[in-house]
Chain A
Amino acid sequence: MAVNITNGPDVCLHAEKISKIYPGTKALDEVSFNVYKGKVNVLIGENGAGKSTLMKIIAGIEQESEGELFMGEEKVHFDDVTEAREHGIGIIHQELNLFPNLAVYQNIFMAKERKKGTVGLDNEYHVKETKRIMEKLQHPIDPYTIVGDLRVGQQQMIEIARNLIQDDLKILIMDEPTSSLSEQEVQVLFKIMRELTAEGISIVYISHRLEEIMQIGDYVTVLRDGKLVDSAAVKDIDISWIVQKMVGKGKSYPKRAGNIDWSKRETVLEVKDLSLPKKGGGWLLDKVSFQLKKGEILGIYGLMGAGRTEIFECIMGLRPEHTGEVILNGETLKINSITEQIDRGFALIPEDRQREGLVQTMDIGKNLSLSSLKNYAKGIFLKSNEEESNIDKIIDEIHIKVADKRLPILSLSGGNQQKVVIGKGIMTNPKILLLDEPSRGIDIGAKTDVFEIMNHFADAGLSLLVVSSELEEIKSIADRIIVLSNGIKTAELAGDEITEDRLVMASYEGHNSGKKN
């Protein structure tokens, strides 16, 4: 089953026993790795397994401590990104590296500008090429659009486009490119990847989504704790093989109990005809209505831009221009500010952990208590003891792995950082928890933990609204799912009605009806 990792003619880049030693820790321990020519080479492992470190060494961002890299028979070593790029290696980072203040074409041609005369920019060429490449990517975005105005998924496409204009691209490294894409966008990306490999470009692909790997991968290499676990051709293996190699034991998402009669439960939240106008006409949300019961987990599924996040924004008071009714425990709310909504018992776990969830300069404890600080105030002073004990309690309750709560927040792994953001919401003693893509960019182990936390609090009587674009996840975690498409609610499914087919079908329906109108 396993393949032998040796250099050969079908290998584009061969890494021989690479080690990377950081002060006090070994991030990579004699890992060998092959990038096969014209293939999709998948690299997988939990967070902290050393995937990103290995990729950074291949892309010249970091340098190996021991071991050797070969391209063909030639031994290579990259001191920086430019040297790696000269050898035809490009990388797309998990965190986007774009210039939000500049236009699409400027982003794509940054540091690769074509000149007209000695100093002038050949923007005509830049715009023309941008159009061509965006069309190839099936995202015909206007080259003059400012990147900051684009959705995350679209920005990802720009990041890919930047690498594609490199003429002599041999190897393209993609670090979790799909974590912010919708199902539809993922399929487009896969098509593009197939086109690239057909042109002889080798792809190194890092992902946490196992089904994707089975669909797109040719070879898979599993890392764990900085060591090479195994390597195989995808055609010879199945998902359970990967999972077993990754975690050492079988794991699956916790499933919700299906035998509760929700009609007897009290309704905590009711949203009626929620509408949100779009800039320049049309609707981001078009008369969306739903109910949320006590102790229920209601999933919201839809493609990028379907209006999922916007529902949360309306409820939290970030979109004062919305219309429609939000009824909490029978009382119609006048929504003024997010602070007031938090006081009323809503808590938001935002989608983008780094940009919207954490305060990077503060320690773990303060990040946890940030939303609930005023509960610990006596006059103007903080009752530190009470604050501390509540922080300890929540760390214990949701199993955040911390050595010391006074350590910087960035000393935690992605999964534990996410738990901190969730913990911050829970510390406000909410009645309703709004989670926007709570499992984005965290490994399988941490995902399972996050879902267990959600189940735990639902069982304790909290009501949860969860946005997710991963079918497998939303199917297992939600009691009921509403599907949004183009701002319209196209389906509401419960129990056995929840099937992948129906979810996907419903997620496209809004676009059809939109055309008819």
Chain B
Amino acid sequence: MFKDKTSLMMTLLKGRTLIVLVLLLIFFSVANENFLSTNTLLLLAKHVALYGILAIGMTYVIITGGIDLSVGAVVGLAGMIAGGMIQNGVTLQFAGVTLYFSVPMVVILTIVVGAFIGWLNGIIITKFGVAPFIATLGTMYMARGWAMLHSNGATYSSLAGNEALGNTGFSFFGSRIAEIPVGALILVVIAIIAHILLKKTVFGWHIFAIGGNEKAAKLSGVKVDKVKILVYIFSAVCAAIVGLITASQLEAAHPATGETWEMNAIAAAVLGGTSMAGGIGTIGGTIVGAFVIGVISDGMVMCGVSEFWQMIIKGLVIILAVIIDQFQRNMEAKMALQARNESKD
């Protein structure tokens, strides 16, 4: 009897973010009849794609027991790198020439810059033993500064490219395929890859092992430093991709883009059940978490709730989510203890 009750309770607890998401959708569709329209939902998907992708990288980092505060700044930097390359090209002063790259090349180079920031994070954390919070706080400032320096704080606003220079087509990432925003499609692709990588590969399991017990992982032969560096690179690459999508959607690159976005990414991961202590988390959960945040924001905008109230409500939801999370873990621990008592020799 008790067991059935507990397992029902556990199912509800585990699916709680999804339940909350459904309840929110119902609530807002009642509050505003236009909410459940295709248009609104596609717009929602476009918004969610941005911090959804960031949150996927963040989930990896948090599972290892770390945190990456630099992702918001990398979003801004990536936009500036790409925008600058398209609008002004790259001038090689010693040769007196200006190079213009094709859009695919711009994308690759931007991602390489992102990966470099991630690698830097990883090296500072693993080789110099700096706490992830501090290391990524430092690179956050550095990346933001680099973005500002890139244009002296100005916005790159002509990203359409030039037919003659062969660098048109950047607006693709902000466009739609069969009505679906490209950003949302990219989110789906990254989510699937990230999920498989996490669950089906040695790399993924090593991530869980490091977050669960780093010492035990090391003694089991897990290459802790290497895995961590790769995880921070992954997170920064996700951020660079978001930077490209954002610049493309806005058709402009502004150096302040992405400020405080890291907080949305952390919130989505935590809402999705990722444990800040490390060792626990899923990509599916994170995506649902990202949608919860998106629905709250978009829904309240449509219902005419002020932005200030939105912030208060978002904060409440996050804290509530973590409280329920603790409750679930306590219950799981109790069930484990129970199993242990029952199976005693």
Contact = CB atoms under 8 A, between A and B. Distances in A.
A380 B201 contact: yes
Contacts of A408: 332, 336
Q: Which of A355, A380, A411 has the most CB of B within 10 A?
A: A411
Interface in A357-403: 357-362, 366, 370-371, 373-374, 376-377, 380-382, 384, 401, 403
A403 B200 contact: no
Nearest to A446: B345
Nearest to B213: A359
A359 B343 contact: no
Given A23-B338, A370-B209, A428-B221, A445 B216 contact: no
A175 B17 CA distance: 42
A424 B202 CA distance: 15
Contact of B338 (A25, A337, A355, A371): A25
B280 A361 contact: yes
A412 to B, nearest CB: 6
A354 to B, nearest CB: 8
Given A225-B344, A339-B221, A382 B338 contact: no
A46 B203 CA distance: 39
Interface string B331-344: 01111111111111
Contact of A361 (B279, B335, B338, B342): B279
Interface string B267-302: 000000001001110000000000000000000000
A413 interface: yes
A355 B279 CA distance: 14
Nearest to B223: A339
A413 B339 contact: no
A239 to B, nearest CB: 21
A355 B213 CA distance: 7
B152 interface: no
A403 B339 contact: yes
Contacts of B334: 22-23
A287 B222 CA distance: 30
B200 A382 contact: yes
A206 to B, nearest CB: 16
Contacts of B208: 359, 361-362, 366
A208 to B, nearest CB: 14
Interface string A333-348: 0000111001100001
Contact of B341 (A48, A361, A446): A48
B219 A350 contact: yes
A81 to B, nearest CB: 19
Interface in B191-219: 197, 200-203, 205-206, 208-209, 211-213, 215-219
Contact of B336 (A47, A355, A376, A411): A411
A24 B336 CA distance: 12
Classify the secondary structure of B's interface with A. helix
Contacts of A362: 208-209, 212, 279
B211 A361 contact: yes
B2 interface: yes
Interface residues of B, number: 42
Contact of B205 (A22, A373, A407): A373
A316 B212 CA distance: 22
Nearest to A27: B341
B104 to A, nearest CB: 25
B342 A370 contact: no
B338 A46 contact: no
A445 B208 CA distance: 32
Contacts of B205: 366, 370, 373, 382
B284 to A, nearest CB: 17
B3 interface: yes
Contacts of A382: 200-202, 205
A370 B219 CA distance: 10
Contact of A22 (B200, B211, B337): B337
Contact of A403 (B202, B341, B343): B343
B220 interface: yes
A475 B259 CA distance: 66
A19 B345 CA distance: 20
A501 interface: no
B219 A411 contact: no
A410 interface: yes
Contacts of B337: 22, 410-411
A24 B338 contact: yes
A261 interface: no
Nearest to A358: B216
Contact of A24 (B3, B218, B279, B332): B3
A356 interface: yes
A27 B275 CA distance: 31
A27 B338 CA distance: 10
A360 B3 contact: no
A158 to B, nearest CB: 22
Contact of A412 (B211, B275, B332, B340): B340
A514 to B, nearest CB: 30
B217 A359 contact: yes
B228 to A, nearest CB: 14
Contacts of B344: 46-48, 225, 413
B280 A407 contact: no
Contacts of A373: 202, 205-206
B197 to A, nearest CB: 8
A45 B225 CA distance: 43
Contacts of B219: 316, 338, 348, 350, 356-357
A48 B218 contact: no
Interface string B312-339: 0000000000000000000011111111
Nearest to B5: A23
* In the A-B complex, the 9 residue pairs with the closest CB atoms: A48-B344, A361-B279, A359-B212, A361-B212, A411-B339, A342-B221, A411-B336, A371-B220, A359-B213
28 contacts: A22-B334, A24-B2, A24-B342, A25-B338, A46-B345, A338-B218, A338-B221, A357-B216, A357-B219, A359-B216, A360-B213, A360-B279, A361-B213, A361-B279, A362-B279, A370-B205, A370-B220, A373-B206, A376-B202, A377-B201, A401-B345, A407-B339, A408-B332, A410-B333, A410-B337, A411-B339, A412-B340, A446-B345
Given A342-B221, A366-B209, A411-B335, 15 more contacts: A22-B337, A338-B219, A339-B223, A350-B219, A358-B213, A359-B208, A359-B209, A360-B213, A361-B213, A362-B208, A370-B216, A370-B217, A380-B203, A401-B343, A410-B333
